[in-house]
Structure formats: structure tokens, C-alpha cells
Amino acid sequence: MEIKQKVIISPLNWGLGHAARCIPLINEFLNKNYEVILIGNGKSLAFLTSNFPDLKQYDIGGLEIEISANKRGQTLSIATQIPKFIRSKNLEFEKVSKIIEEEKPHLIISDNRYGVYSEKVKSILLTHQLKPRFPVLKGLFQNQLEKWMLNFDEIWIPDSEKIMLSGRLSDIPSRLSKKVKHIGLLSHFTTAKKTNPENFEGFNLLLSGPEPQRSKLHELILNHEYFMDKNLNIFGNTKSLSKSKKHIEFGVISAIKMRPYLDSDSVVICRSGYSSLMDLSYLGCKIILIPTPGQPEQVYLAKYISRKFNQLYITQRSLTQKRLDIFKNIEPLKFDEELFNEFQKFIKPAS
């Protein structure tokens, strides 16, 4: 009986974006004859399990981040959860160590989960946030983050040095420079074959991120006078709220079913999460970016992408008709498909 080499892949649990960008990695490891084991929790693990129902999985629990609905309270909300985050990281490491003893993997890929590594197994951190935008005590948290990153043998940045979609978030600290590799962009839409686009003129709203801000954006767009008479497809909603015949709610659907709508000439409204930006730049979409209030990374990326790549950045508080009409002047965000295949050369065939 053939004994396959094993790789553990563990996505962060704070949204589906981290899980989605693991899909091309999982497919490549499977194509190169590895046994893939999923470790995680929450919606991200459930999402990967729905895409790969035959893969072994371990639910290790984890911290569920809480974001205040009030912008002024969000910095304090995040800061007060730091001790909880540290405890979660340490508990994560203990649980993973037991799994490693049982499974004896050859490789570990951790997507922003700093407790998923081992001194006994080659461990790789997948992240675009080498220098995150910390809301408070920036120097202290940056130093701690770098110490955690030093536990990994390699750091893979899902970005290309040719374009730097992640901007200064992926600036490389000097003590990590020897560990870092740019592996190109990742999008789970690379596995969803292009089909004929839907004959649709209007807007696609992609809902993502933690509550309550996820639902606040949903309600804001549905009740906004600008969108009342516009065609609107809504993806990722947790509950149906629309009362207009021009508004269609799809819930959470697969990339294969979603792609025809995103391949149309419609404009996408979404949060400025990095995984969403990689997906939409693969498809070549026009984007209206509305960052989650109080999330410094999303605010930075929205400003950076709008300035460098001519997309539209609007805050939730400035959704006026005058601002929204600017979308008519933006160009599709589209990168060469080769940039989404670079990661393949970093995965060697199982011996």
C-alpha cells in the first residue's frame, strides 16, 4: 500500500476569504500526490469541507473575533481582545502538536494562524500582512508578531513583486528577509472554468467579514435610494432582506455558480479584504470598495487600490449619489493570469 506524504493546511477562521485562497493550494498538493489534512474551525473549515468532502479534517476551535458596531469603539474592542488572541494561539499550538504526533505530516501550511507550526515539521506561514496596520501600540504588537513569524521556516506572501497588490502591508522586516518568498496571487476562481457571462447590467454586492458590520452593509445598500431602482445581485448574505424585484439574493454559493455574474459587465460592491481583491483582479472587475469601519488594513487597502489601480473607494458614511456616480469612470482591475499560477512552482511533487 502506497504511503503518501502528508500536508496540513490550516486557514484562519475569521471569514471565508482565507479559506477560499487555500483552495488552489489544496488542489495543487492533491495534483502532486500529497494527502491533504485540514485543520481549523468555524465557517472557513466548513467552507473547505464543502469543497473537499473527502479530506480528513480536525476542528481545533479558535478565537471568534468580535467587532464593535460603533466605529469609535472598535479600536478598544480589538485591543481588549489581544490577551484572548494570545491564549488562543498557545492553545492552538498544543492541539496541533498532538495532531502532528498522530498524523506525522511532512509539511504544514498555516494561513495567518500563528499557533499552527512545529519545530519537528517544515512549517510555512501564508500571509500578506508582515506589517499590519495596528490600531494601538503599533511597535509592541509588531515586535510580537515578528517573533511569532520567526517560528516558521518560510513565509509565503500571496502577491507578486511585479504589482504589489498588498502594498506596504507586505513590507519585509529585516529579521524575516531570509524566510520570505512571493508566490504570486491566489484565487479560488482559477478552479472555476469560465462560462458565458450572464446578460446582466447592474451591481453585484459581495458581503463578507464579521458581524455586525456584514449585516450593516447589507441593510445600507438595500435601503439606499441610489440602489432602489438598480439591478442588484447579493452574494454571501446570512438572511434575506430585499423587498425589490430588482434585487436578487443568492446567499453563499460556489465560485462556479457565482462566476457568470462577476464575468458580466456589472460593477462589484465589496469590502476591501485582500482575498476579495485577488479574486476580483483575476476576473477583471470594476470595483466599489467600502472598507469595514475600524479595520485599518481594509481602509489602507481601499485607499491604496483606488489610487494605484483606479478603483472607487467610498466610506459607509459617504455613500452619496455624487460619489457613487464616479464608478462610470473606473477601469476593470485585471492582472495577467500567469501571476495566479506562480505558486505552483513552490510546491514540489511528493516523493
- Condensed to tens digits (0 to 9), the pLDDT of residues 315-349 reads 998 888 888 888 888 899 999 999 999 999 999 99
Q: Which long-range contacts (CB under 8 A, 24 or more apart) does 174-177 make?
A: 175/146, 175/150, 176/130, 176/146, 176/149, 176/150
pLDDT band for position 154 (cuts 50, 70, 90) = very high
Q: If we measure between CA atoms, which residue out of 262, 219, 220 comes closest to residue 240?
A: 219
Instruction: Please say if the pLDDT value at position 158 is more than 80.
Output: yes
Q: What is the pLDDT at residue 241?
A: 74
User: Residue 347: phi, psi to the nearest 5?
Assistant: -110, 110
Helix, coil or strand: residue 350: coil
Output the pLDDT for position 1.
Answer: 52
pTM of the predicted model as reported, rounded to 2 decimal places: 0.92
> Amino acid identity, residue 208?
S
Looking at the predicted structure, is the pLDDT value of residue 151 above 60?
yes
Fold of 6-185+337-346: Rossmann fold (3.40.50)
Contact in structure between 313 and 179 (CB atoms under 8 Å): no
Q: Is the pLDDT of residue 67 over 70?
A: no
Q: Is residue 74 over pLDDT 60?
A: no
| End-to-end alpha carbon distance in the chain | 15
Q: For 228-244, what is each residue's pLDDT tens digit? A: 889 999 998 867 777 78
Residue 192: predicted pLDDT: 86
Residue 276 or residue 65, greater confidence: 276
| pLDDT at position 83 | 73
Q: What is the pLDDT of residue 64?
A: 64
Q: Where is pLDDT greater, at 11 or 240?
A: 11
Composition of the chain by helix, strand, coil, percent to 5? 40, 15, 40
Continuous H helices in the chain = 16-31, 42-51, 71-80, 82-103, 138-149, 213-222, 255-262, 274-283, 296-309, 321-324
In which order are the strands placed within the sheet that holds 56-59? 56-59, 35-40, 6-11, 107-111, 122-126, 154-157, 180-182
pLDDT of residue 73: 44
Q: How many helices and strands, by DSSP H and E, does the chain display?
A: 10, 13
Higher per-residue confidence, 70 vs 112? 112
How many CB atoms are located within 10 Å of the residue 271 CB?
23
pLDDT in tens, 192-231: 888 777 788 889 999 988 778 888 999 999 989 999 889 9
Provide the mean pLDDT of the chain. 89
Q: What pLDDT does residue 78 have?
A: 58
Exposed / middle / buried, residue 122 (Cβ in 10 Å: 0-12, 13-18, 19+): middle
Q: Mention every residue, 6+ apart, whose C-beta is less than 8 A from residue 38.
A: 8, 9, 10, 45, 48, 49, 52, 55, 56, 57, 58
**Chain centroid to CA 229: how far?**
31
DSSP string, 255-277: HHHHHHHHTSSPEEEE---HHHH
Domain with CATH 3.40.50.2000 in the chain: 6-185+337-346, 191-329
What's residue 4's pLDDT? Answer: 85
Give me the architecture of the 191-329 domain, per CATH. Answer: 3-Layer(aba) Sandwich (3.40)
Q: What is the pLDDT of residues 287-305, one digit of tens each?
A: 999 999 888 999 999 999 9
Sheet with 232-235, side-by-side order of all strands: 247-251, 232-235, 203-206, 267-270, 286-289, 312-313
Q: Between residues 163 and 14, which one has the greater pLDDT?
A: 163
